[in-house]
Amino acid sequence: MAALLDSKRDAICAQASGLIKSRFPALCYDPTRPDAIEFQQSMFHGTPQRIHDLMQVVLQLHTLGSINDEYSWSWGLLPRYGVTGDHLLAFMRMYFDIVKHEVAMAPEDLDGLNLLEKTVIDRITAIITKQR
């Protein structure tokens, strides 16, 4: 499944980037920063790439430990840029929705993907709830 998702990486990440930008157009924009627009654009582009890379690690190594590490670390940093737990969950749901639309897979693979999505969402929810 990791290879299948990675074969559609560009399409998945481009769509996710566009969705994040359209749904959260003011997110991470700080007019007091000299690089305000570049910083925001970097977030719009980099977030889907980071999620995709994370899902590659999870799928290739067959472990969810990287989810805990990534979100425990980032949850301590991202709120200062206006990113909420709801944003993190929305980004992940967008990613999985796009994957389901972009990647043709067998029903049993889709079942596995749905289980992965639920598990990842549950882990992120637990991390952001615990650290509030």
Residue 118 CB neighbour total at 10 angstroms: 11
Residues contacting residue 28 through CB under 8 Å, at least 6 positions apart: 39, 40, 43, 81, 82, 83
One-letter amino acid identity for 48? P
> Could you read off the pLDDT of 9-63 as tens digits, one per residue?
999 999 999 999 999 999 999 999 999 999 999 999 999 999 999 999 999 999 9
Helix then strand then coil, % of the chain, to nearest 5: 80, 0, 20
Domain 2-130 is found in CATH 1.10.3470: no
> Could you read off the pLDDT of 64-113 as tens digits, one per residue?
999 999 999 999 899 999 999 999 999 999 999 999 999 999 999 999 99
- The answer on pLDDT for 131 being more than 90 is no
Q: Write down the pLDDT at residue 98.
A: 98
- The answer on pLDDT for 132 being more than 90 is no
Query: Distance (Å, rounded) from C-alpha 47 to C-alpha 25?
Result: 14
Listed residue (67, 53, 45) closest to 37, CA to CA: 45
Residue 130 pLDDT level (bands cut at 50, 70, 90): confident
One-letter amino acid identity for 45? H
Name the residue ranges covered by the structural domains of the chain. Answer: 2-130
